[in-house]
Amino acid sequence: MKFIDEATIHVVAGNGGNGVASFRREKYIPRGGPDGGDGGRGGSIFAIADRNINTLIDYRYARIHRARNGQNGQGSDRYGKSAEDIVLRMPVGTLIKDIDTGKVLADLVCDQQKVLLARGGTGGIGNLHFKSSTNRAPRQFTFGEPGQELELKLELKVLADVGLLGMPNAGKSTLIRAVSAARPKVADYPFTTLEPNLGVIRVDHNRSFVMADIPGLIEGAAEGVGLGHRFLKHLTRTRVLLHIVDMAPLSETVDPIHEAQALIKELQKYDESLYQKPRWLVLNKTDMLPVEIRDDHCQQFIDKLGWQGPVFKISALTGEGCKQLTYAIMDYLDQHQLEIATPEDQSSMSADTPSC
């Protein structure tokens, strides 16, 4: 299935049915009085998070979602039937925004979370409710209220604890294959990964975390070059980023120092809050370096880069150092229980947005 992480939809809730002015007219019952019923409620439109869905492809091609109107009231004290609500199932991690106002209506961060997108109109009141001792033949009634109509933007941000950053062919997909059951496509040419991949890493029986792999970044990604910039948003919910560096590039013209510095600059250009997230340096493909110079070569790289954070030396292909990396990540996540939503999302969220 094609991975779609953005869509625009138009939702139209149903109008409420009109009330009616009616009078009881039967043989041998003079002055039967008012008997006009109320109109039915229009259908509302809800969104519900479903962990079994992982793409917004359904909403790329079905843009308009319209609920039915409530039925009008009738005579003989008959009320109009309320319309059925519409429930739109969306992936967990979907952010729903009102395009006209830019307001975040909902952030579906857990399975089965249900939110109201467009409220159906209330039904009108029939003249049955207007009778009184002084108004025995009321002809008043009210019309049903219109339902809400909104243009919404759906944006999927995958939920993951750890995100992988790196240039094309740095070994991100190989790493996620080595430590989880995920099986993304792996090849020896750049841009193998074309869409995000998620893998669940189980450290032991009761401890696990989710890792996200996105297409590799290249210089100029913040300006729209390549594919990686389209998927950087999927890392905004992560709690730690792993900066994967290819220590044994296929081409001698490739400078790992320059590539690492370029990636850091692109990250800062794209989103300052993403740049400020904790980042760990992971030196990959160290098994391809001669043993006698391996440690010195890695240390020279760290010194030239001026890296101050945690550093791990691994080989995703052979699994060397991967277990130590996953245990360190798990310990870090256990010690730093942060909120899933980003500060920007939290500041723009509606006060009445449900939470899990």
pLDDT exceeds cutoff 60 at 263: yes
Per-residue pLDDT band for 225 (boundaries 50, 70, 90) equals low
pLDDT exceeds cutoff 50 at 155: yes
For residue 264, what pLDDT is reported? 86
Cα separation of the two ends of the chain: 29
**Helix (H), strand (E) counts: the chain:** 8, 14
Q: Residue with structure tokens 């739109």?
A: 88
Same fold for the domain at 6-156 and the one at 162-347?
no
DSSP string of 127-143, one letter each residue: GGGG--SS-SS-----P
Q: Residue with structure tokens 């989880």?
A: 180
Q: Kindly report, residue by residue over 282-328, the tens digit of the pLDDT.
A: 999 999 888 888 899 999 999 998 888 899 999 998 999 999 999 99
For residue 37, what pLDDT is reported? 93
Q: Kindly report, residue by residue over 18-28, the tens digit of the pLDDT.
A: 999 999 888 88
Percent of the chain with pLDDT over 70: 86
Per-residue pLDDT band for 130 (boundaries 50, 70, 90) equals very high
**Helix H or strand E encompassing 295:** helix 291-305
Mean pLDDT of 91-118: 92
For residue 5, what pLDDT is reported? 78
Per-residue pLDDT band for 346 (boundaries 50, 70, 90) equals very low
Residue 261: HSE in the Cβ half-sphere, 13 Å Cα cutoff:
11
**For residue 177, which phi and psi values (nearest 5 degrees)?**
-70, -35
Mean pLDDT of 8-30: 91
Mean pLDDT of 279-284: 92
CATH of 162-347, one of 3.20.20.80, 3.10.50.40, 3.10.20.30, 3.40.50.300: 3.40.50.300
Q: Give the span between the Cα atoms of 94 and 58, in whole angstroms.
A: 13
For residue 339, what pLDDT is reported? 43
Q: Which residues contact 147 (CB under 8 A, 6 or more apart)?
A: 12, 13, 14, 15, 16, 42, 43, 44, 67, 69, 118, 119, 120, 121
Structure-derived torsion over alpha carbons of residues 233, 235, 236, 238, reported in degrees to the nearest 10: 160
Asked if residues 242 and 280 have their Cβ atoms less than 8 Å apart, the reply is yes
Which CATH number is associated with domain 6-156?
2.70.210.12
How do the domains of the chain map onto residue ranges?
6-156, 162-347
Could you tell me where the DSSP H helices lie in 112-255? 172-179, 228-231
**Helix H or strand E encompassing 331:** helix 322-335
CA 102 to each of CA 10, 80, 105, 106, 346: distance values in angstroms, whole numbers, following the listed order? 15, 36, 9, 12, 13
CA 233 to each of CA 157, 184, 237, 353: distance values in angstroms, whole numbers, following the listed order? 6, 20, 8, 21
Per-residue pLDDT band for 338 (boundaries 50, 70, 90) equals very low
Asked if residues 71 and 81 have their Cβ atoms less than 8 Å apart, the reply is yes
Percent of the chain with pLDDT over 90: 42
User: Sheet containing 114-118: which strands, arranged edge to edge?
Assistant: 86-91, 45-50, 114-118
Per-residue pLDDT band for 217 (boundaries 50, 70, 90) equals low
Q: Give the span between the Cα atoms of 154 and 107, in whole angstroms.
A: 10
Nearest to 36 by CA among 130, 146, 134: 130
pLDDT exceeds cutoff 90 at 32: no
Asked if residues 126 and 141 have their Cβ atoms less than 8 Å apart, the reply is yes
